[in-house]
Structure 1
Amino acid sequence: MQHTPHAPSRIWQCGRHTLDLSRPHVMGILNVTPDSFSDGGHFIDPQAALDRAHAMIDAGADIIDIGGESTRPNAPALSACEELCRLMPIVQALIDCGKPISIDTYKPYVMRAMLAEGVDIINDIRGFNSPVAIDAVADSNCGLCVMHMQGTPQTMQNEPIYDDVVRDVACFLKQQLCRLLDAGIKPDRLCVDPGIGFGKNLAHNIALLQTLNDLHEKTKAAVLIGVSRKRMIGDLTGQPTEQRTAGSVAAALYAMAHGAHVVRVHDVAQTVDALKVWQALSNRST
């Protein structure tokens, strides 16, 4: 089905919340996993996870993105039941925190269960590349983050190859958006993520970040970027994971200056402070 071209969305409709895309938004990462690449095991305890979420909110996070399964390179797959056991107590405790709650999952069963709890965003690393995943979210009003990934977390960094990474990623994202629109999902619910580090090498990642405005124009959707503490930052700075805050903040600011509407970060306070200074110096609204 061919869709009539529409103007780029000015809002991102995320369940109970409507995000104004005229300003950048900071999404704080909350991994309740034992094996995530950066903070695995730090917040597996529910109280530690809740303390972390509230600290990010106090620091200025606009969205809290909760992940129950690691998607780092070579991460083992997790059952839906085990993923829900990690997510459920945290979501139930945070659902009324006043900020949009996002769930980082690719499993339709988990999507349905989390939407039943009232979450606002489903963030799918597989880009809803399954009719079952589309069915799971179609009848809700949640925001959808459609990400590109080549391969799976177990295989994605095994020499990724593209004919043209910018074109190939944009084509996949546009195709998935059309499938979601065909399912009756409104355009203002949609956000795209080129998937920095998910089946890409350093050159691929740089090319994608340098063409974010073009991605927004091609997809007419909000753009989310997640580069925080990733291997790309280590490759450019020579720093180990725990010392990549400065590089991550620089990448987030670059992304926001070049078309990203949402940045997904570990270091919320530092990113928010940098954003305030950048906005003031750029005569942008705060």
Structure 2
Amino acid sequence: MTHGTIYNPEIKNPRRTIGRRAFDFSRRVAVMAIINRTPDSFHDRGRTFALDKALAAVDDALAKGADWLDIGGVPFGPGPAVTVAEEIDRVAPLIEGARARTDAVISVETYRPDVARAAFAAGADVLNNTSGLHDPALADVVAEAGTGLIVTHSLADPRTPYPRPRYEDVVAEVAAFLRDRVALAEGRGVRPEDIIIDPGHDLNKNTYHSLELTRRLAEIADIGYPLLVAVSNKDFIGETLDREQLARIEGTLATLVVSIMQGARIVRVHDVEEAVQAVRMVEGILGWRPPATARHNLV
């Protein structure tokens, strides 16, 4: 990467239609809003667990410019058991309500094939799987539905602790894992043009690992699929800056900008308005987006 310029990776099928929206990831960054129907999410702490609160969060995210809604019913980390039926009851009505409101992309974050299948029936466009296709049947569900798939790096079984993760070279190992999981998905019938990758910041990684991933993110982007980063308010930002959970927005925005410059093309965020403004400014600086108005020293 030349100093002072953006890294623009060669992406397989950069012009994509995802659900009802078209994107050109060679010159566009999509903003994904996080909407959790969980009582124990790491950031929201149940704020949007009630269906009416979750739908209000959908409306708010859309009003603030989100391109994408990521809906989840079970956190990544350990916690109280949630049955398949309970998870479906959390996510399906929210997906149906969101779908009735918008043509924005809707993804479901789950590690269970039956939940993914129910989410697609409710109107979801993409499976966001943070378990690294731990259950390969997830790829079968995506292939059957003809929907999108986000493949994320993680090491532990779903909802299982993984203390003190160790890597010889975290970036090389994450890249190898993602290549392997993408090959598995394609081997089970998922189309290459439907695949997105995520290096999984903080997922079975310590702060040094997540900083290294961010610093060398272009090596992950080189895999050749649109790259999603889910860094919003995460612990590696909090530990780097010594900031509590609700005081990490500045660190998050800085990390998003660096990630975009290293090849990220989808950003998953809690604070939609601030993220949209940061992303659109980067697009403007790079010449991908014209100014909304241009009067200064022109009139």
If the length of structure 2 is used for normalisation, what is the TM-score? 0.88
Aligned length: 278
* Deviation readout 1:16-53 (Å, 9 max, x if unpaired): 43332121111000011100111021011111111111
Aligned 8 A contact 1:11 1:18 in 2: yes
Secondary structure of 2:280's counterpart equals helix
Code of the aligned partner of 1:226: A
Correspondence 1:135 to 2:136: no
Cα distance in structure 1, aligned partners of 2:44 and 2:142: 29
SS of 1:112's partner is: helix
The code of the aligned residue for 1:14 comes to: I
SS at match of 1:222: coil
Question: Structure 1: any 5+ residue segments left out of the alignment?
Answer: 1-5
Taking structure 1 as the reference length, what is the TM-score of the superposition?
Answer: 0.92
Greater displacement, 260-269 / 270-279: 270-279
| d(CA) in 2 for partners of 1:23, 1:17 | 13
Q: 1:102 maps to what in 2?
A: 107
User: Would the aligned equivalents of 1:31 and 1:40 in 2 still touch at CA under 8 Å?
Assistant: no
Conservation of the 8 A alpha-carbon contact between 2:156 and 2:204: yes
After superposition, the C-alpha distances for 1:207-265 in whole angstroms (9 at most, x for unaligned) are 11122222122x21110000101101111111110111111111111111110010100
| Aligned 8 A contact 1:9 1:220 in 2 | no
Greater Cα shift, 166-175 or 207-216: 207-216
In 1, the alpha carbon distance for the partners of 2:197 and 2:244 equals: 28
**CA deviation after TM superposition for structure 1 residue 13, in Å:** 4.2
Superposition CA RMSD, Å:
1.6
The aligned counterpart of 1:231 is 235
Return the letter of the residue paired with 2:249: T
Aligned partner (choices 45, 55, 58) of residue 50 of structure 2: 45
Residue 3 of structure 1: aligned partner: none
Distance 1:69 1:184 in 2: 27
Q: Return the match for 1:8 from 6, 12, 15.
A: 12
- How far 1:141 sits from its partner (Å)? 2.3
Task: Work out which of the residue numbers 173, 192, 197 in structure 2 matches 1:192.
Answer: 197
Closer/same/farther in 2, CA of residues 180 and 154 from structure 1, 3 Å limit: closer
Q: Is 1:155 matched up with 2:165?
A: no
Long gaps (5+) in structure 2: 1-9, 291-299
What code does the residue aligned with 2:53 have? A
Q: Do the aligned partners of residues 140 and 46 (structure 1) sit closer, same or farther apart at CA in structure 2, a change above 3 Å counting?
A: same
Shift of 1:139: 1.7
Show CA shifts across 1:142-181 (max 9, x none).
111000112144313x101112211111111101111111
In structure 2, the CA distance between the partners of 1:277 and 1:113, relative to structure 1 (3 Å rule), is same
1:252 equivalenced with 2:256 (yes/no): yes
